[in-house]
Amino acid sequence: MPGWLIPGTFTALLLCAVALLAFGALVLVAPATDWRTLLSDSYLHHVLAFSFEQALLSVLLSVLPAILLARALYRRRFPGRNLLLRLCAMTLVLPVLVAVFGLLSVYGRSGWLAQLCAAVGVEYHFSPYGLQGILLAHVFFNLPLATRMLLQALENIPGEQRQVAAQLGLRGWHLFRLLEWPWLRRQILPTAALIFMLCFASFATVLALGGGPQATTLELAIYQALSFDYDPARAALLALLQLACCLLLVLLSQHFSKALATGSQSLRGWRDPQDSWRARLGDTLL
């Protein structure tokens, strides 16, 4: 074996060993006879349905606006753009509880929006708990992530294609459909799959903003089985079920997604000669 392969092979074997040991421990702890009882549990059906529902809604609310934001950032070069992109990356390392307290200070019953509505005589009805609170927190974390991933896809568009599109006079919908969308669609599915798994396995956000048993995810059900029911076997079964769901999603994403090619020429400073003030205003508002 070549010497340069040894570190990578050792690391891969170590990771596989850790994963197999963890999976084997779950299989040994989870009794096979409990599967039928677990799968017929109506509460588990509700937990699974809510987990998929909140994850799917979080994906839609994160990815769809991210397409517009990524296109706006792709077309514009302005002072502070790099700082804005770095701030988008901050959500990946921001502690969940810090973000939750920040959202509560803005959207809570005594938050800034409630005080503003009270000042103008409007009654404030929004509650940051339950499904709407979970979605709000997930969008806060995942919208910047989706924007950066889709922006990277757009910046990989070859410069020659952008110049040809400008020479042909492609604008608006035709520019998006013929030039940008073929590159975006290669990245949308992996981005959506990543955000779906992050939201499907969300724990601290749901624990802080769930608001009760009606807003419980599979991850929180595992915690409840260990901390309140003292049932490691049920927790292991739920963990295996969650692992199977995430693994299936990863396989589907890899099957349908294509590798993202890189542009043959970088034109990061290039500007569209047919740019208009309406387009600049729309991108600024976004």
Angle, vertex CA 85, rays to CA 80 and CA 87, nearest 5: 95
Residues in the chain, how many?
A: 286
d(CA 143, CA 79): 22
Q: Return the top range by mean pLDDT from 17-21, 164-168, 270-274.
A: 17-21
**Residue scoring higher pLDDT (272 or 202):** 202
pLDDT digits (tens, 9 = 90+) for 43-64: 888 888 999 999 999 999 999 9
* 264 has a pLDDT exceeding 70: no
Task: Give the number of domains in the chain.
Answer: 1
Question: Of 30, 35, 268, 257, nearest to 152 (Cα)?
Answer: 268
pTM over 0.75? The answer is: yes
Q: Is residue 239 part of a domain?
A: yes
Report the 10 Å Cβ neighbour count for 252: 12
For position 57, what pLDDT does the model report?
95
For position 55, what pLDDT does the model report?
93
Angle, vertex CA 192, rays to CA 188 and CA 194, nearest 5: 120
Domain span at residue 138 reads 42-84+127-261
d(CA 256, CA 233): 35
d(CA 197, CA 207): 17
* 270 has a pLDDT exceeding 70: no
3-state secondary structure of 244: helix
* Residue 55: burial class (beta carbons within 10 Å; 0-12, 13-18, 19+): buried
Q: Is residue 61 part of a domain?
A: yes
Q: How far is CA 271 from CA 27, 35, 76, 77, 260, in A?
A: 57, 60, 8, 9, 24
Q: Is residue 233 part of a domain?
A: yes
Q: Is residue 24 part of a domain?
A: no
**Residue scoring higher pLDDT (191 or 239):** 191
Residue 236, domain CATH: 1.10.3720.10
d(CA 10, CA 150): 33
Q: Return the top range by mean pLDDT from 162-166, 243-247, 256-260.
A: 243-247
- Reading the block at residue 158, the tokens are 């070859």
Mean pLDDT of 12-34: 72
For position 30, what pLDDT does the model report?
62
For position 261, what pLDDT does the model report?
45
Q: Is residue 103 part of a domain?
A: no
Residues with Cβ within 8 Å of 278's Cβ and at least 6 positions away in sequence, in order, are: none
For position 56, what pLDDT does the model report?
94
Q: Is residue 267 part of a domain?
A: no
* 124 has a pLDDT exceeding 70: yes
- The answer to whether the beta carbons of residues 191 and 63 sit under 8 Å apart is yes
pLDDT digits (tens, 9 = 90+) for 131-188: 899 999 999 999 999 999 998 888 887 877 777 777 777 777 777 788 888 888 888 8
- The answer to whether the beta carbons of residues 124 and 118 sit under 8 Å apart is yes
- Reading the block at residue 76, the tokens are 């514009």
In the chain, % of residues over pLDDT 70: 84
Q: Is residue 281 part of a domain?
A: no
Q: Is residue 252 part of a domain?
A: yes
228 backbone dihedrals φ, ψ, rounded to 5°: -110, -40
